[in-house]
Structures are given as C-alpha cells and as structure tokens.
Amino acid sequence: MEKAFRYRFYPTPEQESLLRRTLGCTRLVYNKALHERTQAWYERQERVGYPETSTMLTRWKKQEDLGFLNEVSCVPLQQGLRHLQTAFTNFFARRAKYPNFKKKRNGGSAEFTKSAFKFKDKEIYLAKNSEPLPIRWSRQIPKGCEPSSVTVNLHPSGRWHISIRFDDPTIQPLPVNENAIGIDLGVTSLIATSNGEKIINPKHFKKHYKRLRKAQKSLSRKQKGSRNRAKARIKAARIHLKISDSRKDFLHKLTTRLVRENQTIAVESLAVKNMVKNHKLALAISDSSWSELIRQLNYKCYWYGRKLVAIDQWFPSSKRCSSCGHLVDKMPLSIRNWICPECGCNHDRDINASKNILAAGLAVSVCGATVRPEQSKSVKAGALKQKLKS
C-alpha cells in the first residue's frame, strides 16, 4: 500500500535560504511553462506538451538572466512541469478548471524524487544539502520501508512541512465483522448513523471566526508592500492553519473509528460543488468538509479491507419511511421530525435517512440493485433478461 507521512521541520538559515530559492525557481518554471502553453494555443492553435516544456527548461537555463536556475536541484523543476501536464490533463478531461499561475504569497511546494534525496540513518538529505533536515519525527517510518519521494511544503504562515511517500507492506486488513452502518451527512449534525447516533458538527471556522475577522480587518488596513502588512498576513494565515488542522484532526479520528467498528459503510455521493452554489448554505457546507470525510473513508476502507458503498445522490432517503417504505411528496429542510401517514411511525429526519441509506447500500452491494424507484430491478436480473433475449 502506498502511504505518506507528513512531518513538521525547522530548517537552518542556510537550508531555508536554499529551500526558498528552490520553491521560487519551481514557481517561476511552472508559470513560464503555463504562459508558453497558453500563448502557443491562442496565437498558433498549437498544443504544447511536457516534452516541449522540458526542452524549453534546458534553453532557459542557458540564458544569462535565468542562470540562477542552475543553483538549485533540477528535479523539482522537472516535477513542476509534470504537475503542469497533469493539471492540463485534468482540464481537458473536465475534472478541473484551467491551471492558474502560482503566487509567492501562497507559499509553495517542491517534490524531490529518489534521485534528489538520500534516506540514511533515518534522516533525510536533500540535493545540494550537506546536513539532514531537522525533522520533528512524530512517528517513525515502518521498518524496512524506503521513501520513494518527498515533498517540501511552505505554508503561508511560514511553517515548513515535509511529506514522505513510501510503500508500506505492514498494513493488514482488520478482522472481519458483521457490522454495517449507513451515514447521513448534515450541517447541524455532521453525521447521523443508522444506529441512532448523531455526531455534532464542531464548526471549526465558526469557532475562530471572530479572531480571523479581526486579523483580516487589520490586514486590509495595512499599506501594500509594507513589512507590517507581511506580519498581518502571517497572523491571518496562522488562524487559517489552526482551523484546517483542527478540522482534519477531528475527521481523522471520526473516520478511523467508523472504519474500525464497521465492515460495510454506506454513504451518499453528494455533488458538493453544486451545493455550495447556494450562498445561504455555502459557508456551513464548506465548514463541514463532507468531501474530505468521504475521501478519508474511501482510502481507509481500501487499506483495512472494509467496504464503502456510495449510493445515488438522487435517492429519496429523507422522504421515504424506513419502516414501511412509504414515500411522501415533499420534505422541506425545515422539517426535522415527521410522522409517516401510512404506518404512523415517528421519524427523526436524519436517523431515518441514514437507515434508508444503509438499506440502499446493502441492496447495491449484495445484488447490484439500483436505488431509484423507476429502476428497481437488479443489475443481475437485467443482464439475465438481456441474455435470454439474445
């Protein structure tokens, strides 16, 4: 299994100077290549790929005004061009927007492949560095694992992090159990489970909103280009980092517990990008971080031999009675509890939805059945009918 550990490190002044120059050169090469590819298309309707930009990089290094590109390792520069190629691939496949230019104030990152670093005596030596990086080893890399690549990242707040990627053969599937759970995502309650449990949304952004608002107001009043503005920007970035770290820590603990306790987990496949277009709910949805929660469940289930089932986003989980299956016509968001007109069962909206999600998820995983009422026949039955016709 491919895995990555992220650590914080505190570079010496010499190391920081070299790393900042490396990040700057990587950003410069990325932006110049993006400019050349954009100009080639608009002026000559010509598509420029990675091989052409790699040739351009060789030519740039020979120019007098760009001679400083030779002072840093060439590997992060080439990796930056590969990342640009990936960004264009995702754009043409309609998975992402058109690539943007990188900005200095956003920090930056540089990836070093195996030829540009050395892992010796449990220490990382980067290219053109004689001393190991002073990493705060919060956890050790499993014995016998060799890093395949490392990525150095500078956060806008000034913090340095390093991500070490390696293949981990020590990951073993968890013992099989019979537990299955359905999860309904929400705003007030982050998740509601089919077991009747509700996890309250911590709302990390709301918790730090007053401090962040004060810091951003102070930043807006500073003169552009001044040192006081740089200090105010770092102060605001640190609050953003605190919010991000708190959110990720909470989600990691929650998803790990869900994966350990359950063999099958059923969730909704929500179109979050479309949902945040509602300006009244955009902040609450973004603060909940549903996409990150599903992403963590996905790879942790893959690691530990669990099964994650994503049902159709149009499945009427809230409007269907989990007791008798009756489907009501409308269910506004303001209604949090309702009584089934068919069987008289009293439902909590979120708990009822999670029970329906579990039932639909089990149907999908067991027999391949669809979850829409008009497509209720199983996939296996449909395939058999088609085979008999032929």
Catalytic site residue from 268, 287, 342, 348: 268
Nearest to 294 by CA among 283, 309, 284: 309
- Contact criterion met (CB below 8 Å) for 40 and 48: yes
Active site residue 268: yes
Query: Can you tell me which residue has the tokens 């008798």?
Result: 324
Residues with Cβ within 8 Å of residue 17, at least 6 apart in sequence: none
**What amino acid occupies position 155?**
H
Catalytic site residue from 184, 261, 287, 342: 184
DSSP, collapsed to helix, strand or coil, labels residue 72 as: coil
Nearest to 25 by CA among 62, 59, 64, 57: 57
Catalytic site residue from 52, 197, 329, 350: 350
Percentages helix, strand, coil for the chain, rounded to the nearest 5?
A: 50, 20, 35
CA distance 147 to 165: 5
- Contact criterion met (CB below 8 Å) for 369 and 311: no
Q: Which two tokens stand for residue 267?
A: 């969730």
**What amino acid occupies position 19?**
L
Question: Residue 130 has what DSSP assignment?
Answer: S
Active site residue 312: no
- Contact criterion met (CB below 8 Å) for 298 and 215: no
Nearest to 320 by CA among 361, 292, 355, 283: 355
Radius of gyration (C-alpha) of the chain in whole angstroms: 26
Active site residue 64: no
Residues labelled as active-site residues: 184, 268, 350
